[in-house]
Amino acid sequence: MSWIIDQQHVNNICSTCGTRYANERKPGDICPICEDERQYVLESGQHWTNYEAIAAQHNIRITERAPRLYDLRLVPAFSIGQRAFLVQSASGNILWDCLPLIDETTVAFIRAKGGLKGIAISHPHYYSLMAVWARIFDCPVYLHEADQEWIMDKRDHIQLWGGLQQPLWDDLKLVHTPGHFPGSVVLHAPHHGYDGTVLTGDSLFVSRDRKQVSFMYSFPNYIPLPAKDVRIIDERVSPLAFDSMYSAFDGLNIQEGAKEIYERSVIRYLQAVDPQFRP
Ligand SMILES: [Zn+2]
Ligand SMILES: [Zn+2]
């Protein structure tokens, strides 16, 4: 296989958030994504690494979560530690969110499942190696235009969209759910699971007990989302039909009853942050 990963030995990947930059980073260069109040810089400072160093220490583990739905994550975990999802669909597959690594085994697995027709990413924390993935699979990366200032590796494959929804194919669609980031989105897959699936990244967050969904402006810094933002998210998510929900991290899966859990969680959240709220 001819790899299209250029700059394999060049330090252009942030060790803390996993974002790949177009060009080499020097010691002392900051990562704007980590400097932002939604992320953090380690006490030991900013660190940069390269593709080869990550590939030498990590593999990608692929797990089937439901029929035609697989999650992919780095083991051992690296940087933020998010999952990506392979969503199989009749007219073409989509990768939801992205990883700071890609390897031959993963490429072969995805190709055997039909390849990728597109990549869509919930928000800038998971842009990671999106430009490399897009070149290898020669497919567009759908990003909401409200977050374009955070694109650190601008390539031809980036396809910005705006507005409330972006229809894809086979009734798959991206839904704009601003809050965590201005351009945060979720992916609605109506033909997956028992009665539809929502993949959320960090836009909505499945809690560890899988009995709650929550909302945060910053997860590592514990800054909650204002009630007005949660109401906007709810206006856009509550019309969707779904029974399962998957957010960014391993184990954060609601396999059934997700709509009911989601609706109860919105009320619980608004009661907590808005003293005037009456369900
Ligand atoms: Zn960073
Ligand atoms: Zn995030």
Q: Is the dihedral of CA 252, 146, 134, 233 positive or negative?
A: positive
Distance 15 CA to ligand 1 centre (A): 7
What pLDDT, on the 0 to 100 scale, is given for residue 239?
Answer: 98
Distance 79 CA to ligand 1 centre (A): 9
Residues with CB under 5 A from ligand 2 (ion): 125, 202
Compute the distance between CA of residue 115 and CA of residue 278 in angstroms, rounded to an integer.
48
Helix axes 258-273, 227-237, angle to 10 degrees: 160
What pLDDT, on the 0 to 100 scale, is given for residue 2?
Answer: 57
Considering only residues 67 and 279, tell me which one the structure prediction assigns the higher pLDDT. 67
Residue 73's nearest CA partner among 85, 83, 64, 59 is 83
Distance 20 CA to ligand 1 centre (A): 9
Look at the chain and report how many structural domains it folds into: 1
Under 8 Å between Cβ of 9 and 50? yes
- For residue 207, the surrounding DSSP H or E stretch is none
Residue 82's nearest CA partner among 99, 101, 65 is 99
With respect to residue 36, please indicate whether it lies within any of the assigned structural domains: yes
With respect to residue 196, please indicate whether it lies within any of the assigned structural domains: yes
What pLDDT, on the 0 to 100 scale, is given for residue 267?
Answer: 97
Compute the distance between CA of residue 49 and CA of residue 232 in angstroms, rounded to an integer.
38
Considering only residues 131 and 279, tell me which one the structure prediction assigns the higher pLDDT. 131
Average pLDDT of the chain to the nearest whole number: 96
pLDDT tens sequence across 143-164: 999 999 999 998 889 999 999 9
pLDDT over 90 (residue 178) = yes
- For residue 233, the surrounding DSSP H or E stretch is helix 227-237
pLDDT over 90 (residue 141) = yes
What pLDDT, on the 0 to 100 scale, is given for residue 156?
Answer: 86
pLDDT over 70 (residue 77) = yes
Q: If you ran DSSP here, which 8-state letter would residue 117 be given?
A: S
CA angle 116, 112, 66 (to 5 degrees): 75
Distance 35 CA to ligand 1 centre (A): 7
With respect to residue 7, please indicate whether it lies within any of the assigned structural domains: no
What pLDDT, on the 0 to 100 scale, is given for residue 6?
Answer: 82
pLDDT-derived band of residue 4, with 50, 70 and 90 as boundaries?
A: confident
The CATH number covering residue 269 comes to: 3.60.15.10
- For residue 224, the surrounding DSSP H or E stretch is strand 223-224
With respect to residue 4, please indicate whether it lies within any of the assigned structural domains: no
Distance 180 CA to ligand 2 centre (A): 7
Q: What's the domain range around 214?
A: 13-273
pLDDT over 80 (residue 217) = yes
